[in-house]
């Protein structure tokens, strides 16, 4: 069976191999789909499916795609909400006219429990997904968690709340125990912070995170938005006056605009592939911050981490995949030292992570089988370990 995968990355392998070192912000944003965390999701998809698939783009000729492939797999994001109209997806998928599986679909809301109103185009997309099932009696959607599945069900579609595929990048059976062991043997504290969004109310946390970067020999890992990438790459001349004012307000402890620009060029780091991101993470004792994948990838490398959730999306992903999490409103007043202490792993954190991940592997295995997709050795091994317990 020939499988075509649609991601939001654009020629990412070529970007990493030939252009990354000298690329400007626009090139980084285009290659990574506007958020470097997307590379973690796609790496997870690769691990689940193995290497036997082709890459399909939304703009490809529908007739050619339909003729060459037997099934499509769509890498999704938090696209079910008032903020996105998926009418274009619905139209394109009708033209591709192939059985289709959707992995990682998420709902965006101000908080878990509030069902968002979504555009008619998105409702049409959800209705279409049922027609594109390989097995008419089985779900073809994996969501980011229970809340996202509740939202999808509200609009008449069944789904499976098994979380992000990035939880399966590592093939280790007891990854949670490895994270705890890493924390226990560390002699030199280095903290990896996953930078948040300076336009979100949680920006009150960023001053503390920058303090942690300086005090604990850390790095400020960037994913999004564009303006942060511009600062990191020394392209501050393209940042608007309103953005400058906001940065001066959020990052007040660093100093004036000139100091903020210099700080970002010195302490900011970004990645365009998951393997280098994970390898680099091993130099740190702990990962923390508001970005889910900025914490999830270090965990896949055996480094403990905690997500400081800023919305329903980050909270749901963390709970579904077993990653420790806390709402930003509960910790935004903590000192740097207290925040770090609250993010350390316990034995219970390690046990919960391993248990949740193994359970999700069993569910992923069944989902893939139900949809006629291959089950990779990594998923098989994790699933078997759970089934034998």
Question: If pLDDT is split at 50, 70 and 90, which confidence band does 114 have?
Answer: confident
Q: What average pLDDT does range 357-373 have in this prediction?
A: 95
Give the rounded percent of residues in the chain with a pLDDT score beyond 70: 98
How far is Cα 362 from Cα 123, in angstroms, rounded to an integer?
Answer: 30
Task: Judge whether residue 57 has pLDDT over 70.
Answer: yes
With beta carbons less than 8 A apart as the criterion, state whether 210 and 196 touch. no
Task: Give the total residue count for the chain.
Answer: 389
- Cα angle 35, 177, 303; round to 5: 35
In CATH terms, the fold of domain 3-168+356-387 is: Rossmann fold (3.40.50)
* Lowest pLDDT segment from 25-34, 40-49, 220-229: 40-49
Q: Which two tokens stand for residue 131?
A: 């027609």
How far is Cα 231 from Cα 272, in angstroms, rounded to an integer?
Answer: 17
**3-state per-residue secondary structure call for the chain:** CCEEEECCCCCHHHHHHHHHHHCCHHHHHHHCCCCCCHHHHHHHHHHHHCCCCEECCCCCCHHHHHHHCCEEEEECCCCECCCCCCHHHHHHHHHHCCCEEEEEECECCCCCCCCCCCCHHHHHHHHHHHHCCCCCCCCCEEECCHHHHHHHHHCCCCCECCCCHHHHCCCCCCHHHHHHHHHHHCCCCCEEEECCCCCCHHHHHHHHHHHHHHHCCCEEECCCCHHHHHHHCCCHHHCCHHHHHHHHHHCCCCCCHHHHHHHHHHHEECCCCHHHHHHHHCCCCEEEECCHHHHHHHHHCCCCEEEEECCHHHHHHHHHHCCCEEEHHHCCCCCHHHHHHHHCCCHHHHHHHHHHHHHHHHHHHHHHHHCCCCCCHHHHHHHHHHHCC
Handedness of CA 128, 46, 223, 295 (dihedral sign): positive
> How many other CB atoms sit within 10 Å of the CB of residue 95?
12
CA 145 to chain centre: 13
pLDDT value, residue 388: 58
Q: What average pLDDT does range 278-300 have in this prediction?
A: 97
Task: Judge whether residue 381 has pLDDT over 90.
Answer: no
Domains of the chain by residue range = 3-168+356-387, 175-350
How far is Cα 359 from Cα 68, in angstroms, rounded to an integer?
Answer: 35
* Lowest pLDDT segment from 31-40, 234-243, 376-385: 376-385
Task: Judge whether residue 335 has pLDDT over 60.
Answer: yes
pLDDT value, residue 48: 87
With beta carbons less than 8 A apart as the criterion, state whether 339 and 207 touch. no
pLDDT value, residue 77: 87
pLDDT value, residue 64: 97
Task: Judge whether residue 74 has pLDDT over 60.
Answer: yes
Instruction: Give the β-pairing of 3-6 and 54-55.
Output: parallel
pLDDT value, residue 378: 81
Name the one residue in this structure whose structure tokens are 């740190």.
Answer: 284
How far is Cα 184 from Cα 345, in angstroms, rounded to an integer?
Answer: 10
With beta carbons less than 8 A apart as the criterion, state whether 381 and 171 touch. yes
Task: Judge whether residue 24 has pLDDT over 90.
Answer: yes
Task: Judge whether residue 366 has pLDDT over 90.
Answer: yes
Question: If pLDDT is split at 50, 70 and 90, which confidence band does 46 have?
Answer: confident
Question: If pLDDT is split at 50, 70 and 90, which confidence band does 19 have?
Answer: very high
Give the rounded percent of residues in the chain with a pLDDT score beyond 90: 87
In CATH terms, the fold of domain 175-350 is: Rossmann fold (3.40.50)
Task: Judge whether residue 380 has pLDDT over 90.
Answer: no
CA-wise closest residue to 149 among 137, 163, 132 = 163
Q: Give pLDDT tens digits for 137-192.
A: 999 999 999 999 999 999 999 999 999 999 999 989 999 999 999 999 999 999 99
pLDDT value, residue 386: 61
pLDDT value, residue 56: 95
With beta carbons less than 8 A apart as the criterion, state whether 93 and 60 touch. no
Task: Judge whether residue 234 has pLDDT over 60.
Answer: yes
The residue with greater pLDDT, 388 or 343, is 343
Task: Judge whether residue 387 has pLDDT over 70.
Answer: no
How far is Cα 251 from Cα 52, in angstroms, rounded to an integer?
Answer: 46
Q: For the chain, what is the largest distance between any 2 Cα atoms, rounded to a whole number of angstroms?
A: 60
* Predicted TM-score of the model (pTM): 0.95
pLDDT value, residue 184: 97
pLDDT value, residue 241: 95
Q: Give pLDDT tens digits for 5-16.
A: 999 999 999 999
pLDDT value, residue 385: 66
Averaged pLDDT of the chain: 94
Name the one residue in this structure whose structure tokens are 């392209």.
Answer: 235
Q: Which two tokens stand for residue 376?
A: 């990779």
Q: Give pLDDT tens digits for 194-214.
A: 999 999 988 989 999 999 999
With beta carbons less than 8 A apart as the criterion, state whether 40 and 108 touch. no
How far is Cα 4 from Cα 1, in angstroms, rounded to an integer?
Answer: 10
Quick check: do 3-168+356-387 and 175-350 share a fold? yes
Question: If pLDDT is split at 50, 70 and 90, which confidence band does 389 have?
Answer: low
């Amino acid at each position: 069976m020939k499988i075509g995968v649609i991601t939001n990355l654009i020629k990412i392998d070529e970007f990493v191999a030939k252009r990354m070192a000298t690329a400007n912000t626009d090139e980084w944003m285009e290659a990574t789909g506007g958020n470097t965390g997307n590379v973690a999701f796609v790496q997870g998809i690769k691990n689940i499916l193995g290497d036997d698939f082709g890459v399909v783009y939304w703009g490809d000729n529908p007739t050619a795609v339909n003729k060459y492939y037997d099934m499509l797999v769509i890498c999704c994001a938090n696209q079910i909400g008032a903020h996105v109209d998926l009418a274009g997806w619905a139209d394109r998928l009708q033209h591709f006219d192939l059985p289709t599986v959707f992995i990682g679909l998420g709902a965006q809301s101000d908080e878990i429990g509030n069902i968002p109103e979504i555009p008619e185009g998105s409702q049409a997309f959800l209705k279409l997904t049922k027609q594109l099932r390989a097995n008419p009696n089985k779900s073809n959607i994996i969501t980011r968690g229970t809340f996202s599945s509740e939202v999808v069900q509200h609009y008449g579609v069944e789904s499976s709340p098994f979380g992000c595929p990035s939880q399966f990048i590592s093939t280790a059976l007891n990854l949670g125990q490895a994270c705890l062991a890493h924390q226990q043997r560390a002699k030199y504290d280095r903290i990896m912070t996953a930078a948040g969004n300076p336009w979100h109310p949680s920006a009150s946390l960023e001053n503390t995170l920058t303090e942690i970067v300086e005090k604990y020999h850390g790095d400020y890992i960037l994913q999004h938005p564009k303006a942060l990438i511009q600062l990191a790459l020394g392209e501050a001349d393209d940042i608007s006056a309103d953005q400058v004012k906001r940065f001066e307000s959020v990052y007040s402890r660093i100093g004036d605009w000139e100091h903020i620009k210099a700080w970002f060029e010195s302490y900011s780091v970004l990645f365009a592939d998951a393997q280098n991101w994970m390898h680099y993470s091993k130099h740190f004792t702990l990962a923390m911050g508001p970005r889910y994948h900025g914490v999830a990838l270090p965990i896949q490398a055996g480094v403990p981490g905690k997500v400081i959730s800023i919305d329903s999306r980050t909270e749901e992903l963390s709970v579904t995949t077993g990653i420790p999490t806390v709402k930003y409103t509960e910790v935004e007043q903590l000192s740097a030292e207290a925040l770090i202490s609250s993010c350390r792993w316990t034995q219970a954190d390690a046990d919960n992570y391993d248990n949740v991940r193994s359970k999700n592997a069993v569910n992923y295995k069944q989902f893939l089988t139900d949809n006629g997709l291959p089950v990779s050795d990594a998923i098989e091994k994790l699933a078997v370990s759970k089934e034998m317990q």
